[in-house]
Copies of this chain bind each other. A is one copy, B any other.
């Protein structure tokens, strides 16, 4: 995580200096709560890195860094209501702590506050393009979340559909974070497009790595319970690929397991994990992830940005597709 440390420190300082206070306090307290639950601050770091490709004074990127982090946390607040999740980063989720109504309304105000941070930028010319990027990504995240919910009800999800879904739900915002940093630094349109492509492709790799770690990760490093996706019968890349390459008997057993509410968690995780291993799914997933990593590096190589800035993004990409993020 060394590469992220500098950006995280700078961002946390900015967050401390810009608290979410306002009236009525019942509206703003949940915002302050979720924003201070911590996390890697990956999106703010990417906004700053996108800026740093073209200019050095990265404090200029802090308002957009904050905007993308506030938006990301808004999406966590509302997703946690929908998923009935009770714990986030080891603490009660916002709706568990403050109730569903407060979580809905505080989430709403976060979505507007994120946009407002962009309109507070001194350089008025930057506002229209940045708001356009922000709104497009925000809409895509909603579309991705809806697709994800639809998949829970469907038996015939394909791998291309899954990639489309994670592109919308996860990669679009990572890409927009980088893009907004680049636009804030005044990058030209061709470079902005390549930066976006890099962010989008590495975002797909990020989610595939998340799928891999959720089943095959080291619980000490991953930070979440291993096997959560299996327990929730989530149709991740691993499962969809397994359904594709399994013989009919294996497919039948996997579908049976996926269609049954989990009774013995440990037993189910073990059986599914062993099945995935026997089908060589970890290797398929690594190959898919590396395909997107390669695309991402190709995009980054086209950017006319500083060598030091590109080196930082390459290191970030290695970290994302690696083992400890």
Contact = CB atoms under 8 A, between A and B. Distances in A.
A124 B264 CA distance: 59
Contact of A131 (B108, B109, B115, B138): B115
Interface string A130-157: 0110011011001101110110000000
A289 interface: no
B131 A104 contact: no
A32 to B, nearest CB: 14
The dominant DSSP class at the A interface is helix
Interface stretch (A20-28, A200-208, A275-283): A20-28
A116 interface: yes
A132 B128 CA distance: 11
A3 interface: no
A104 B132 contact: no
Given A111-B112, A119-B128, A119-B131, A104 B101 contact: no
A76 interface: no
Contacts of A139: 109, 112-113, 116
How many copies of this chain does one complex carry? 2
A82 interface: yes
A163 interface: no
Interface string A3-32: 000000000000000000011101100000
Given A101-B82, A124-B128, A109 B24 contact: no
A102 B147 CA distance: 11
Interface residues of A, number: 37
Contact of A111 (B108, B132, B145, B146): B108
A105 interface: yes
Contacts of A119: 128, 131-132, 135
A78 interface: yes
A112 B131 contact: no
A254 interface: no
A312 interface: no
Nearest to A147: B24
A168 B81 CA distance: 26
Interface string A157-192: 000000000000000000000000000000000000
Given A112-B135, A115-B135, A124-B128, 10 more contacts: A22-B143, A26-B146, A81-B104, A82-B101, A101-B149, A104-B104, A111-B112, A112-B142, A113-B139, A127-B131
15 contacts: A24-B150, A78-B105, A78-B108, A81-B101, A104-B104, A105-B142, A105-B149, A107-B108, A108-B142, A112-B142, A113-B139, A116-B135, A116-B136, A119-B128, A131-B131
Interface of A: 22-24, 26-27, 78, 81-82, 101-102, 104-105, 107-109, 111-113, 115-116, 119, 124, 127-128, 131-132, 135-136, 138-139, 142-143, 145-147, 149-150
